[in-house]
């Protein structure tokens, strides 16, 4: 018998390369499936992204049926109510993490850095990569040449940017640190991210589930890259897009199609019509 009431379920999606296709467009299949899941089946659906308040609003509003549901921002550092413009929870990077960045940019002076707070962005040594990042997402930002010039309040996440070989060397340096005060995650071959220890998208997902009284076994999430890995490990039903790295496929309960073909729609159709608890 097909389940018709999904009010006890929360489904969460990454945005770029998951909800949206590789051209940053929302496939009709995804829109239609989210509408069916939320409007006609009573389910809860929302987004989990590395974006901050400013840059998450556009994709959120592309799905008017999810209005009122909080979103995960800054890869789990924050949970944000878009409609009320209210940060519901926020875990900043501590002083030890900030000092780790100081040491990293000293060792790798060619690195470009973007620091995201819930509402702003700062860049250090911005050239090609950092300028593209803040420009593409149209985030209010301030540019700095040196680490010591940057305001220290409300750092949600740090992105190290540069050519892949440089980012790879910085990644190797950081991941060799024993018991670091922060959490690391790869978001692309030319970027490497730093968050406060213990923080990832899955933390934010479970905070939203708690708001709605939803059990862990009735949470689902879909993503396409390593910054979604911990989220997939956290939820009850995990899914990855077809183009995701093999390590993501290895942990996913459901392997959806390529994001260009509507991976979120694929997952929701599976959950609504074929999934058996």
Distance CA 181, CA 205 (A): 22
Percent of residues, the chain, with pLDDT higher than 90: 95
Distance CA 81, CA 85 (A): 6
83 and 205 together in one domain: yes
153 and 237 together in one domain: no
Residue 1 is assigned to a structural domain of this protein: no
121 and 83 together in one domain: no
At 87 the three-state DSSP class reads: strand
Write down which residue in 196, 215, 234 finishes a domain.
196
Residue 32 is assigned to a structural domain of this protein: yes
Does residue 146 register a pLDDT over 90?
Answer: yes
Q: Print the domain residue range for 28.
A: 10-90+199-273
Predicted local distance difference test score (pLDDT) of residue 140: 85
Write down which residue in 144, 176, 196 finishes a domain.
196
192 and 105 together in one domain: yes
192 and 253 together in one domain: no
166 and 242 together in one domain: no
Average pLDDT over every residue of 82-90: 98
Ramachandran assignment for 162, one of left (phi > 0), alpha (psi -120 to 50 degrees), beta (any other) = left
Predicted local distance difference test score (pLDDT) of residue 136: 77
How many domains are there within the chain?
A: 2
75 and 204 together in one domain: yes
Average pLDDT over every residue of 226-238: 98
Average pLDDT, whole number, for the chain? 97
| pTM (predicted TM-score) | 0.96
Residue 54 is assigned to a structural domain of this protein: yes
Give me the CATH number covering residue 80: 3.40.50.1000
Residue 246 is assigned to a structural domain of this protein: yes
Predicted local distance difference test score (pLDDT) of residue 139: 83
Average pLDDT over every residue of 49-65: 95
Distance CA 72, CA 272 (A): 23
Distance CA 192, CA 129 (A): 12
Label residue 137 by pLDDT band (50, 70, 90).
Answer: confident
Contact 37, 6 (CB under 8 A): yes
Ramachandran assignment for 7, one of left (phi > 0), alpha (psi -120 to 50 degrees), beta (any other) = alpha
99 and 167 together in one domain: yes
Residue 152 is assigned to a structural domain of this protein: yes
Predicted local distance difference test score (pLDDT) of residue 1: 76
Residue 4 is assigned to a structural domain of this protein: no
CB under 8 Å to 182, separation ≥6 — which residues? Answer: 93, 96, 97, 100, 194, 195, 196, 197
Write down which residue in 196, 225, 251 finishes a domain.
196
Residue 5 is assigned to a structural domain of this protein: no
Give me the CATH number covering residue 123: 3.30.1240.10
Label residue 2 by pLDDT band (50, 70, 90).
Answer: confident
82 and 151 together in one domain: no
Residue 28 is assigned to a structural domain of this protein: yes
């Amino acid at each position: 018998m097909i389940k018709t009431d999904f009010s006890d379920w929360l489904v969460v999606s990454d945005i770029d390369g998951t909800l949206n296709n590789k051209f940053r467009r929302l496939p009709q299949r995804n829109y239609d499936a989210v509408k069916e899941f939320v409007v006609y089946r009573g389910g809860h659906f929302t987004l989990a992204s590395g974006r901050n308040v400013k840059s998450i609003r556009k994709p959120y509003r592309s799905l008017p049926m999810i209005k009122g549901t909080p979103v995960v921002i800054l890869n789990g550092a924050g949970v944000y109510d878009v409609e009320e413009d209210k940060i519901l929870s926020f875990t900043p990077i501590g002083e030890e993490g900030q000092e780790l960045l100081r040491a990293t940019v000293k060792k790798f002076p060619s690195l470009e850095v973007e620091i995201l707070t819930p509402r702003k962005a700062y860049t250090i040594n911005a050239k090609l990569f950092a300028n593209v990042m803040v420009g593409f997402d149209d985030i209010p930002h301030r540019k700095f040449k040196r680490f010591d010039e940057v305001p220290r309040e409300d750092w949600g996440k740090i992105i190290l940017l540069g050519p892949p070989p440089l980012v790879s060397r910085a990644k190797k340096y950081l991941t060799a640190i024993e018991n670091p005060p922060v959490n690391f995650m790869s978001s692309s071959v030319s970027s490497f991210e730093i968050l406060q220890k213990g923080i990832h998208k899955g933390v934010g997902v479970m905070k939203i589930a708690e708001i709605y009284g939803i059990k862990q076994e009735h949470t689902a999430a879909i993503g396409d890259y390593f910054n979604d890995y911990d989220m997939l490990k956290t939820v009850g039903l995990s899914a990855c897009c077809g183009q995701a790295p093999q390590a993501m496929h290895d942990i996913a309960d459901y392997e959806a199609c390529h994001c260009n073909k509507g991976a979120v729609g694929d997952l929701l159709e599976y959950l609504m019509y074929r999934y058996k608890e």
